[in-house]
Amino acid sequence: ATATATAAPSFFVIETASLDQSPHSVHHFLEQVDANLWDGLGFTTNPGHLLRATPTTAAAESAFARAGLDRLLINESSTSSSQPRGKADDRNSSDDPSPTTTLRHDPYTIAFPTGRSALSPRVPTATVTKSASNEIGFYINTADNNDVHESDPIIGRVVEGRDVIRQMMTVPAVDGSEGGLLPGDGIRIVSAEIVVG
């Protein structure tokens, strides 16, 4: 994904979870990217908790529905994963992008919101009609969110460009509130691409 957090475009790279860990969720996300549904969309923030990419207009949201990619058919929650849930692998939360064997909501992991989390990511209702409570959108954990998001399926993690994510988290919301929309003219997904290799 390419995000504009400064005058010059910046980018971050998401490595998806393996298909044996979250097959439906990963496939769903890649289908959304392939259909260019993320291009041009903005971010909301919950400071110290997460950064969420989401459609912020009815038109953008309806594009997901027209493509049949507006909700997950199967919830592959991190607690239902066949992977062990023991002590967090230190590499998962550090800047070391080495693979891990657990699916945990550690910093820089990416997940779909299901609306069943203890602190489900929310967007101001005046901004978005329904995507605050379903799977339209993904979020990047910026803290250890295992206790509040364990029902949400993890689809990957940021392996490159973590500095971009940290920089995005410092930008105040448009209305100055916590959990608000980040400036659309400054922080948005310019384009998302699938890179194999």
Q: Closest by alpha carbon to 150, among 192, 103, 191, 84? A: 103
What region does 114 belong to: left with phi over 0, alpha with psi -120 to 50, or beta? alpha
Output the average pLDDT for the chain: 74
Residues 6+ apart with CB under 8 A from 187: 3, 4, 5, 42, 43, 168, 171
Answer whether residue 3 shows pLDDT above 60: no
What are 156-186's pLDDT values in tens digits? Answer: 999 999 999 998 888 877 766 656 666 655 6
Contact yes or no for 50/140 (Cβ under 8 A) = yes
Which pair of tokens denotes residue 118?
Answer: 């203890």
What are 11-42's pLDDT values in tens digits? Answer: 999 999 988 888 999 999 999 999 999 998 88
What does each C-alpha distance from 105 to 44, 65, 177 come to in angstroms? 18, 27, 24
**pLDDT for the residue numbered 82:** 38
Confidence band for 194, pLDDT divided at 50, 70 and 90: very high
**Strand intervals (E) in 121-186:** 138-141, 154-160
